[in-house]
Chain A
Amino acid sequence: MISVRNLTKRYAGHTAVDDISFEVDRGEIVGFLGPNGAGKSTTMRILTCYLSATQGAASVGGFDTFKDSIEVRKRIGYMPENVPLYDDMRVKEYLHFRAQLKGLRGRSARRAAGEAMDTCSLQDVRRKMIGTLSKGYRQRVGLADALVNKPELLILDEPTNGLDPNQIRQVRELIKHLGERHTILISTHILSEVEMTATRVIIIDKGRIKASDTPQNLIRRLHSSGTVHMEVKAKPKQVIEKIETLSDIKNAIHIGTSQGWSTIDVHAFSNVDIREQLSSLAQEQNWPLRELYRDTASLEDAFVDITRS
C-alpha cells in the first residue's frame, strides 16, 4: 500500500528525514513512533503529496506521490497534526463539503457525511459550529473527514494529541475499529498508543528509522526485563546470600521489610526467566512465598533503549 524508498527531506540546511525506507502492506495498522521533531509529520506530508521529497521516492497504492499526486490523494484520508478545520462551518456542512471535494456526488455525498458522523459519534453536534466544539469533538470531526470517502489508506498525525484520558480511550477504540476496514498509518510520540492498536511499529528518531517490528517483538528484544520481584517471610540477608549462589543471577537487592515479609528485587544476567529457580529455592528453604513476578518490559522501555543507542 505504501512504499517509501530512500526518502530524504531537507529544510534550509536541516535534515528532517534522512534516507528512510519502509513498506506498509494492505490491512496493516502501523504505528509511526518517535519523539517530537523526529520527522514523523514531514514523512506524512510527503506521503499525502503536500510536500516534495528532496531525494528518494514514495508511492501509495502503486502511484507515485510526485507524478500521480491526484491519484494518490484520492486513495488517502489524511488528518494533519492539530486537526485544522474551518471554524465558521457546521459539522454536517463541513463533512458534506469534504465528501463532495473528494469526488462524491449528490445523495451519496450526503450519505457519506451521515455515515462518517455515525462512525465518529458526531450526530449530537452535527448542527454545531466547528469553532464552538471541544477538542475531543474537533478530533473526531477530523477523523470523520479523513474517512468520509472510505479511502483505502488513513494517515493520522498524532490523533490523540491534547485529549484527556477518557477521550484518548474513545479515539483509540475508534481507530481500532477503523483498522478492520482500512490500512492505517498513525503517528504518535505516546507509546501506549501504538502498543494497543498497532500491528507493527516503526520507530523513527532524528529522521532515521531505528526499528520496525511488531510491538511484541520489540519488547522481547529488550535486555532489561530480567528483573523479578519476590516477597518472602525470611531474613533478607540470608535470602540474598542464598539467591546469589544461583546461576544467572547478577544481584539481589533488599527493598524493604514489613511484618516479617521481605521484598527483594532479583536481577538476572541477560533475558532469562529465573522465576522457577527462585520458587524451588523458596520451597527448599521452607520460606513462605507470597509474591513472585517478573517485570514486563513495556514498549516504553524498548523505545528508550532504542532511541538512546
Chain B
Amino acid sequence: MRQFFILLRKELRSFFLSPLAYVIIALFTFLNGWLFSSIVTAMRMKVNQHSLVYNLFDSGWFWMGYFFLFPLLTMRLFAEEKKLGTLETLLTAPVRTAQVVLAKFVATTILYIVIMLPIFAFFFLFEDITGESAAFQKGAFYGAAAILLLVGIFNIAIGCFASSLTSNQLIAAMITFVVVVLHYFLGFIHYFGAKLPAELLAKVTYFSTVEHRHLFTEGLIDSRPVIYYLSSAVVMLFLTHHVLERRRWQS
C-alpha cells in the first residue's frame, strides 16, 4: 500500500510537471467553453425540450474532443517506460506489478477528473449568473457526472492496456483511439440502418454508451451500466497486469 502511494505521487508529479497535461486541459476547456456558449445561444434562439446539461453532452463536438483525451492521457503510461528501459528498474525494485498498474491507472483517473472539472464549473457559473438551472433536476447533474466518470474509467483502463502492449506511444495511442471510438459507435449501430434482430439489438444497447448517457443525463441512474463499466475496467487492468507479468512466466 505504501509503495502504491509512492508510485502514485511520482505519476501525478510527472503529469503535472509536464507541459502536455496543461496543453490538454487548456484545449479541452477551450473547446467545451466554445461549445457551451454556442449551445446557450442556440437554446435562446429555439425552444428545446432538453436541459443545458443534456444538450451539451448530446453534442457530437463534445464527444469528438472527448475521444482524443484518452490516447493522449494514456499513451505514455507503459510505452514510455518500455522505450526508456525504466520498466526494468521499476519492476526489479521490490514492488508488485499490481501496485504499478493501479498507481498509473489512479493517477490518470485523477488527471481526467481535473480535466473534467471546468465543464461542471461552467454549469455552476451559468446557474449563478442567470439564476436558471442548467439541468432540470439535481439528479441529472449527478447522473451526467457519474456517466462521465464511468466511461472515463473504462476508457483509461483500455488505454493502460494498449500502452502495455508496445514501446511505441503512437501505436498505443492509435489502439486506444480505435477501441474507444468503436465501442462508442457500437451504441449507434441501429441508427446506421443496420437491420439487426431485436434480440441482438437489446444486447447491443446493454453496451451502448449512448443509451447509458441518455438515461443518466435524465437523472436515471441504473446499476447495470455501473457494473458494466467497472467490471470491464477491472478486466482491462487485469489484462495489463498479465501482459507485464508475462516475461516472468515459467514455461
A48 to B248: give the CA distance in the assembly, Å. 11
B residues in contact with A66, CB < 8 Å: 248, 250
Contact (Cβ within 8 A) A52 B6? no
Contact (Cβ within 8 A) A50 B3? no
Task: Pick the contact of B249: A50, A52, A105, A145 (CB < 8 A).
Answer: A52
A145 to B14: give the CA distance in the assembly, Å. 19
Contact (Cβ within 8 A) A101 B95? yes
Does A266 have its Cβ within 8 Å of any Cβ on chain B?
A: no
Contact (Cβ within 8 A) A86 B84? yes
Quick one: closest B residue to A10, CB to CB?
B251
Does A73 have its Cβ within 8 Å of any Cβ on chain B?
A: yes
* Tally of B interface residues using CB under 8 Å: 24
B residues in contact with A76, CB < 8 Å: 92
Contact (Cβ within 8 A) B93 A50? no
Contact (Cβ within 8 A) A54 B95? no
Does B197 have its Cβ within 8 Å of any Cβ on chain A?
A: no
A291 to B247: give the CA distance in the assembly, Å. 60
A residues in contact with B6, CB < 8 Å: 97, 100-101
A residues in contact with B86, CB < 8 Å: 84-86
Does B89 have its Cβ within 8 Å of any Cβ on chain A?
A: yes
Does B96 have its Cβ within 8 Å of any Cβ on chain A?
A: yes
Task: Pick the contact of A70: B94, B248, B249 (CB < 8 A).
Answer: B94
B residues in contact with A101, CB < 8 Å: 3, 6-7, 93-95
Does B48 have its Cβ within 8 Å of any Cβ on chain A?
A: no
A178 to B99: give the CA distance in the assembly, Å. 32
Does A118 have its Cβ within 8 Å of any Cβ on chain B?
A: no
* A50-B92, A102-B94, A103-B94 known; A84-B248 Cβ under 8 A: no
Chain B contact surface mostly:
helix
Contact (Cβ within 8 A) A73 B89? no
Does A53 have its Cβ within 8 Å of any Cβ on chain B?
A: yes
A100 to B88: give the CA distance in the assembly, Å. 17
Quick one: closest A residue to B85, CB to CB?
A84
**Shortest CB distance A17–B (Å):** 14
A54 to B91: give the CA distance in the assembly, Å. 19
A48 to B239: give the CA distance in the assembly, Å. 24
Does B10 have its Cβ within 8 Å of any Cβ on chain A?
A: yes
Quick one: closest A residue to B249, CB to CB?
A52
Does B121 have its Cβ within 8 Å of any Cβ on chain A?
A: no
A residues in contact with B248, CB < 8 Å: 49-52, 66, 69
Does A88 have its Cβ within 8 Å of any Cβ on chain B?
A: yes
Does B18 have its Cβ within 8 Å of any Cβ on chain A?
A: yes
Contact (Cβ within 8 A) A102 B247? no
A53 to B247: give the CA distance in the assembly, Å. 10
Does A80 have its Cβ within 8 Å of any Cβ on chain B?
A: yes
Interface residues in B205-251 by Cβ distance below 8 A to A read 247-251
Contact (Cβ within 8 A) B92 A73? yes
Does A98 have its Cβ within 8 Å of any Cβ on chain B?
A: yes
A80-B88, A84-B85 known; 12 new pairs, CB 8 Å cut-off, are A50-B88, A50-B247, A50-B248, A51-B247, A52-B247, A52-B250, A66-B248, A70-B94, A76-B92, A87-B84, A101-B7, A101-B94
A contacts, CB < 8 Å to B: 45, 48-54, 66, 69-70, 73-74, 76, 78, 80, 82, 84-89, 97-98, 100-103, 105, 145
Selected A-B contacts with CB under 8 Å, 24 pairs: A45-B88, A49-B92, A52-B247, A52-B250, A52-B251, A53-B250, A66-B248, A66-B250, A69-B248, A70-B94, A70-B96, A74-B94, A78-B89, A84-B88, A84-B89, A85-B84, A85-B86, A86-B14, A86-B84, A86-B86, A87-B84, A97-B10, A98-B89, A101-B6
